[in-house]
Structure 1
């Protein structure tokens, strides 16, 4: 089953690179957004399985946006950043996000590992 993903980041270069990397890994990128307002609109409209959300959106907090997204949609939220998780460990743990991925580790497999086994699938 293909995973449907919404990418939220204020870097057009990152959005383009991440889209092509994830699609090679079998993840369908259903949309991209570069602001909180766009993210909420696209997430509501597209109902992605996963929202990859940058912590640093040009003046907006990814943590604040994660709460707004969690209230609006049932998508799994994964926070992403170029910063180390050590910098944000407590904030990530207190957020509604399923987890955190450093942008350099981003891949379909890393996302699937964070999500855990699909219901009904045998566990390895």
Structure 2
């Protein structure tokens, strides 16, 4: 059973999400919040597996709420819901520590699958969207350091190759084909990479790779 905290400033939106999640045998809504400050408080008290986070709310928005929930060392993982697939606010939430984002008009099965994935420790961003997010990341002029990044020091050469492929937005299957390895081997490598560089999930690993200068935008992107 995956426990969920719903955060949205629209009561009807929260009601719809609750109806969907309560009708699903694998999810349980443990609380609702109408703004970011309440979300932070309830996340600390209720310790849900997943926080379903709206971005645009009065007072404390979803980005700041996400940042505070993650900074507090919460076991909860944040899944952002947004109305635009490249909404700058959603991008900011990913940098604040969210494990991914979905569109508010996603199909019910997509939302449920996203919640399950986030609860299991995966990142919910499609590879194509990952590439577009990285375009935005570079366009914003995020500087990389010329100094060796200590987060990457423990990686083997193969693990660096895997991280570079992840940073390109490739799936495990695509990486396996690229490196001529089994998909299960790639999954193992990805897990080790995340552990070694201290990444929360795949999205966080991609950001680290770009910040460290290990990855660069490909020509034509």
Superposed pair shares fold, TM > 0.5: yes
- Report the secondary structure of 1:4's partner residue: strand
Q: CA deviation at 1:59?
A: 4.0
Q: CA deviation at 1:114?
A: 4.3
Unpaired runs of 5+ residues, structure 2, are: 123-183, 185-221
* TM-score normalised by structure 1 residue count: 0.81
Task: Pick closer, same or farther for the CA change 1:80–1:32 going to 2, 3 Å.
Answer: same
1:12 equivalent in structure 2: 11
2:138 equivalent in structure 1: none
Q: CA deviation at 1:61?
A: 2.2
Task: Pick closer, same or farther for the CA change 1:41–1:90 going to 2, 3 Å.
Answer: closer
Moved over 6 A (4+): none
Q: Aligned match of 1:111 in 115, 128, 131?
A: 115
| Higher relative contact order (CA closer than 8 Å, sequence separation 6+) | 1
Size of the alignment, in residue pairs? 117
Unpaired runs of 5+ residues, structure 1, are: none
Q: CA deviation at 1:117?
A: 7.1
1:96 equivalent in structure 2: 97
Structure with bigger strand share is 1
Q: Return the alpha-carbon distance in structure 1 between the equivalents of residues 5 and 61 of structure 2.
A: 17
- Report the secondary structure of 1:101's partner residue: strand
Q: CA deviation at 1:58?
A: 1.9
Give CA-to-partner distance per residue, 1:58-77, whole Å, 9 cap, x none: 24321111101112222001
For the aligned residues, what is the CA RMSD?
A: 2.2
1:70 equivalent in structure 2: 70
1:22 equivalent in structure 2: 21
Q: Return the alpha-carbon distance in structure 1 between the equivalents of residues 65 and 121 of structure 2.
A: 27
Task: Pick closer, same or farther for the CA change 1:87–1:32 going to 2, 3 Å.
Answer: same
Q: Return the alpha-carbon distance in structure 1 between the equivalents of residues 37 and 86 of structure 2.
A: 28
